[in-house]
A and B are shown apart, each in its own frame.
Chain A
Amino acid sequence: MSFLDLKNVTKIYPNGTKAVHETSLSVDEGEFMVFVGPSGCGKSTLLRMVAGLEDITEGDINLDGKLINEVDPSERDVAMVFQNYALYPHMNVYNNLAYGLKNRGIDKETIEQKVNDAAKLLQISDYLQRKPSMLSGGQRQRVAMGRAIVRNPKIFLFDEPLSNLDAKLRIQMRLEIKKLQQKVGVTSIFVTHDQVEAMTLADRLAVINNGIIEQLGTPIEIYDNPKSLFVAGFIGSPQMNFLDGNIKNKTLSAESFEIKDIDSDFEGEVKLGIRPEHLSQSENSLINLKVDLVEQLGSDNLVYGQLKDKKDFCYRCPGNLTIEKGADLSLNIENNKYYIFDKSTGKRVN
């Protein structure tokens, strides 16, 4: 059994909303697990069940070899960083950090030692006497993390902790969280709807949709090998291009081109997925793109345009290529990196 074990966990809210369906998942000790999915998919609910803030309708959760379904949140030894931090407004930073330790009956000197260590680690030593209202967003974020770290809990839970920060700070804090987690080595679950955040932070990530884990794996596995239409569309930026197609006798026809000898026995209606970055310009082309717009990011260009049948399409090319608006590009799929999904079920078929 791994460190944290969810077995067939289901959550039905009193009003009948089924937020999580029979979800099973294990997290190893020291692992950084990320739950990613669109808003309302049940990520927070799942996290809150681990924390003990929501009752578990069905299933079991084991933490460190102990069934914790009925264990009170205060006894679970988990720490959580909330979206708007939930700092204690009437306590200064020191007491915000110390409160959890005091409740555990730890003596004063040890508390002081621990708080100071955590404050140093998070570079908030200078603000220990301030109230949260006198701190900036980034500083509050650090205090919230300090409050979690100082207790040395079995598991860290983060519920979209970066979403209240501006873009630059978000990237910086993302890095810091990752570094911190590696330094402290504590098992963590991080919830986000931002796939970039998910990819950069995760040791493994769980892509959740409608209360179901669609796919579980390392970021690269999921990027390279999405198992469903949803995962393929959700992970990767800019989004994967999808074209309607049809397979007959191992030949896929989509738009105005055909791919022969595909690696699938599937027959029927499909969606063909091609990532913008898996395309290149070549002579004997498959796809003809009429360019509408070019976004120059410096390192890359994002080329947006339309295919013959007016279908929107995106191509990502190195930033040193100059591409004019209105140009006609001939594109090929690199190394046969394309994905085929059953149109009716969304399941990957190649």
Chain B
Amino acid sequence: MKIKPLQIIAHIILILGVLLMVVPIWISFASSSHDSVTILTEGMKFHIGDQLARNYNEVLNEKGGWSEEVTAAKMFINSFIMALGIATLKVVISAMSAYALVYYRFKLAVPIFWLIFITLLVPLEVRIFPSYKIVSDLGLTNSYTGLILPLVASATATFFFRQFYKTIPDELLESAKLDGANAWSFFIDFLVPLSKTMIAAMFIFMFVYGYSQYLWPLIMTTAEEYWTVVMGMKIIYTESYEGVALPRTAERFAYIILSMIPPVLVVVFLQKWFIKGLIQTEK
């Protein structure tokens, strides 16, 4: 097979793109396997060192914080729970509200849709004080519920689900009705399986969104046992100013690498679904 020049150029561009994405991660990973002194004196590393197990063990299990009680492992769990809750609830609520908007032809459907859509212009950061007030009045500060609940409404996902449902032919609904399906079974038996791909994609986006929340958990939590990964990132960076010890650069890299694992796992786990939906074009 002859390779055309255009293909070579295309491949070079793609390879450059891949390097751009992968090299920083590799450097972080390689650097996380040396001890901090090496990094501080010699700079970042391209090869694996001999401190891998020690550094990671340290990061995961060393107790930190003011009370010296919270570990990074705990923060990962917190973030995971928060992101999982946000992603799940966002997908469920958006799918259901889109269902109502598309299939229940009530008069206010369009205005309500736009009202939901407008909330895109009012992200959490803008309404953070009223949100905080409500959550604290409900006594939900320092709880998973408080971390998750104010973030579960999603105009974006509602919009995408709505657009998708609108492409489903009316005859499918009519046919299902004649087959005895009610409102609930049409949603569960038809819309959910038909939007599998969509659900997987939304779940991934929303998981990453939830996982990378910073401001909200920062304001919401005073107890260290609810700290999240992103908050921890800040803490691990400020730590060195307080102490007299050397900055623990290698551990920071280990922390960064670890913090990437949960979202990657979600993508890896869901991509099977995702890709299956893409290649199996079902009419």
**Residues of chain A at the chain B interface (Cβ within 8 Å):** 51-53, 72-74, 76, 78-80, 82-84, 86, 88-90, 99-100, 103-104, 131-133, 147, 151
A100 and B193 contacting across the interface, CB-CB below 8 Å? no
Given A82-B171, A132-B283, A133-B281, A89-B178 contact (CB < 8 Å): no
A99 and B189 contacting across the interface, CB-CB below 8 Å? yes
The complex places the Cα of A334 from the Cα of B171 at a distance, in Å, of: 49
Contact of A86 among B169, B181, B189, B282 (CB under 8 A): B169
Q: 15 additional contacts, CB 8 Å, given A73-B174, A83-B171, A86-B175?
A: A52-B178, A53-B178, A74-B178, A74-B181, A74-B182, A79-B178, A84-B171, A88-B176, A88-B190, A89-B194, A90-B194, A100-B178, A131-B282, A132-B283, A151-B179
Contact of A80 among B174, B194, B281 (CB under 8 A): B174
Which residue of A80, A89, A133 has the most chain B CB atoms within 10 A of its CB atom?
A89
A82 and B179 contacting across the interface, CB-CB below 8 Å? no
Return 8 A-B CB contacts under 8 Å, by A number: A51-B174, A78-B178, A90-B282, A99-B176, A103-B181, A132-B283, A133-B282, A147-B179
Cβ of B177 within 8 Å of any chain A Cβ, yes or no, is yes
Taking CB atoms, residues of chain B closer than 8 Å to A83 are 171
Interface residues of B in 176-192 (CB under 8 A from A): 176-182, 185, 189-190
Which residue of B176, B180, B193, B194 has the most chain A CB atoms within 10 A of its CB atom?
B180
Taking CB atoms, residues of chain A closer than 8 Å to B178 are 51-53, 73-74, 76, 78-80, 100
B112 CB to closest chain A CB, in angstroms? 20
A73 and B172 contacting across the interface, CB-CB below 8 Å? no
Interface Cβ pair total, 8 Å cutoff: 64
A146 CB to closest chain B CB, in angstroms? 12
Taking CB atoms, residues of chain A closer than 8 Å to B181 are 74, 99, 103
B174 and A82 contacting across the interface, CB-CB below 8 Å? yes
Taking CB atoms, residues of chain B closer than 8 Å to A89 are 194, 282-283
B195 nearest in chain A by CB position: A90
A103 and B282 contacting across the interface, CB-CB below 8 Å? no
A131 nearest in chain B by CB position: B282
A74 and B180 contacting across the interface, CB-CB below 8 Å? yes
Taking CB atoms, residues of chain B closer than 8 Å to A103 are 179-181, 185
Contact of B180 among A53, A100, A132 (CB under 8 A): A100
A86 and B283 contacting across the interface, CB-CB below 8 Å? no
A330 CB to closest chain B CB, in angstroms? 54
Query: Would you list the 7 A-B pairs with minimal beta carbon distance, nearest first?
Result: A103-B180, A100-B179, A86-B171, A86-B175, A89-B282, A74-B180, A90-B193
Interface residues of B in 187-243 (CB under 8 A from A): 189-190, 193-194
A48 CB to closest chain B CB, in angstroms? 8
Taking CB atoms, residues of chain B closer than 8 Å to A90 are 190, 193-194, 282
Taking CB atoms, residues of chain B closer than 8 Å to A73 are 174, 177-178
The complex places the Cα of A52 from the Cα of B173 at a distance, in Å, of: 13
Using an 8 Å CB-CB cutoff, how does the interface string of B249-283 with A read, 1 for contact, 0 for none?
Answer: 00000000000000000000000000000000111
A322 CB to closest chain B CB, in angstroms? 51
The complex places the Cα of A72 from the Cα of B180 at a distance, in Å, of: 9
Using an 8 Å CB-CB cutoff, how does the interface string of B88-106 with A read, 1 for contact, 0 for none?
Answer: 0000000000000000000
Taking CB atoms, residues of chain A closer than 8 Å to B281 are 133
The complex places the Cα of A84 from the Cα of B182 at a distance, in Å, of: 22
The complex places the Cα of A53 from the Cα of B174 at a distance, in Å, of: 7
A17 CB to closest chain B CB, in angstroms? 17
Taking CB atoms, residues of chain A closer than 8 Å to B174 are 51, 53, 73, 80, 82, 86
The complex places the Cα of A104 from the Cα of B281 at a distance, in Å, of: 30
A53 nearest in chain B by CB position: B174
Contact of A104 among B180, B182, B282 (CB under 8 A): B180
B164 CB to closest chain A CB, in angstroms? 14
The complex places the Cα of A88 from the Cα of B176 at a distance, in Å, of: 8
B177 and A88 contacting across the interface, CB-CB below 8 Å? no
Taking CB atoms, residues of chain B closer than 8 Å to A86 are 169, 171-172, 174-175
Taking CB atoms, residues of chain A closer than 8 Å to B182 are 74
The complex places the Cα of A51 from the Cα of B169 at a distance, in Å, of: 18
